A and B are shown apart, each in its own frame.
Chain A
Amino acid sequence: MASMLRCCSASGCRSAGGEALQQALVEARSRAGAGDGAPVIKAVGCLRLCSRGPLVAVDGPAGSVLYGEVPSARAAELLEACAAPPRAAAARRALASHALDLRHPFFALQEPVVLETCGLIDPESIDDAMAHGAYSTLHRCQAELTPAQVREQVRLSGLRGRGGAGYPTGLKWDTVALQPPGPRWLVANADEGDPGAFMDRAVLEGDPHRLIEGMAIAAWAVGADQGLIYVRAEYPLAIARLRRALAEVQARGQLGSLRLRVRVGAGAYVCGEETALLASIQGRRGNPRPRPPYPAQLGLWGAPTLINNVETLAAIPAILRRGAADYAALGTAGSRGTKVFSLSGAVRHTGLVEVPMGTSLRTIVVTMGGGVPGGEGADGGVKAVQTGGPSGGCIPAALLDTPVDYEGLRALGSMMGSGGMVVIDQATGMLELARYFMRFSVAESCGKCVPCRAGTVQLLQLLDRFCDQRASPADLAQLHDLCAMVKATSLCGLGQCAPNPVLSTLRHFHQEVVSALAVAPGGAP
Chain B
Amino acid sequence: MVVPVRLSAAPKPLARPVLYSGFHPGAAMEQAKPSFPEASIPEHRHADALIEVLHQVQQQRGYLPAEALAQVARDLALPLSRVHGVATFYHLFALQPPTSHCCSVCLGTACFVKGAGVLVAALEQRLGLRFGARSPQRRDAEGSDGDAWSLREESCLGACAQAPVLRVDGQLVLGLPVSDPSRLAACFGALALPDRAAEAA
Expressed in whole angstroms, the Cα–Cα distance for A345 and B116 within the complex equals 11
- Total A-B pairs, Cβ < 8 A: 152
| Cβ < 8 Å to A, chain B residues 138-185 | 154-163, 171-175
Q: Determine whether the beta carbon of A286 is less than 8 Å from that of B90.
A: yes
Interface membership of chain A positions 155-198, coded 1 if the CB is closer than 8 angstroms to chain B and 0 otherwise: 00000000000000000000000000001010000001111111
CB of A346 within 8 A of chain B? yes
Q: Is A225 an interface residue (CB 8 A)?
A: yes
In the complex, which residues 48-100 of chain B have their Cβ closer than 8 Å to any Cβ of chain A? 48-52, 54-55, 85-86, 89-93
* A268-B89 contact given A225-B35, A344-B160, A350-B162, CB 8 Å threshold: yes
**Does chain A have a CB within 8 A of B103?**
no
Give Cα A346 to B90, complex, Å: 31
B113 CB within 8 Å of chain A: yes
Interface status of A422 (Cβ within 8 A of chain B): yes
The answer to whether A234 and B86 have CB atoms under 8 Å apart is: no
Q: At the interface, yes or no: B108 with Cβ under 8 Å from chain A?
A: yes
Within 8 Å by CB of B109, from A50, A261, A303, A420, lies: A420
Whether A424 sits at the interface, judged by CB under 8 Å, is yes
**A-side interface residues, number (CB < 8 Å):** 62
Residues of chain A from 194 to 220 with CB closer than 8 A to chain B in the complex: 194-198, 201
Given A344-B163, A436-B109, decide whether A226 and B35 contact each other with a Cβ distance below 8 A: yes
The answer to whether the Cβ of A285 comes within 8 Å of any Cβ in the partner chain is yes
- Check A345 against B89 for contact (C-beta < 8 Å): no
A283 touches B91 (CB 8 A): no
Q: Does any Cβ of A come within 8 Å of B120's Cβ?
A: no
Known: A15-B174, A422-B109, A436-B112. A342 touches B155 (CB 8 A): no
Is the pair B161, A428 in contact by a Cβ cutoff of 8 Å? no
Closest to B158 in A: A198
Q: A344 touching B90 by the CB < 8 A rule?
A: no
A95 at the interface (CB under 8 A from B): no
Kindly state whether residue B110 has any CB partner on chain A within 8 Å.
yes
B24 at the interface (CB under 8 A from A): no
B172 touches A11 (CB 8 A): yes
* Given A15-B159, A16-B174, A50-B162, CB of A285 within 8 Å of CB of B85: yes
Binding site for A on B (CB under 8 A): 31-32, 34-36, 45, 47-52, 54-55, 85-86, 89-93, 107-114, 154-163, 171-175
* Subset of 22 A-B contacts with CB under 8 Å: A11-B172, A12-B162, A15-B173, A51-B161, A193-B155, A195-B108, A197-B156, A226-B34, A234-B158, A261-B31, A263-B52, A266-B51, A266-B55, A267-B91, A267-B93, A283-B51, A283-B52, A303-B34, A344-B160, A345-B163, A433-B112, A433-B113
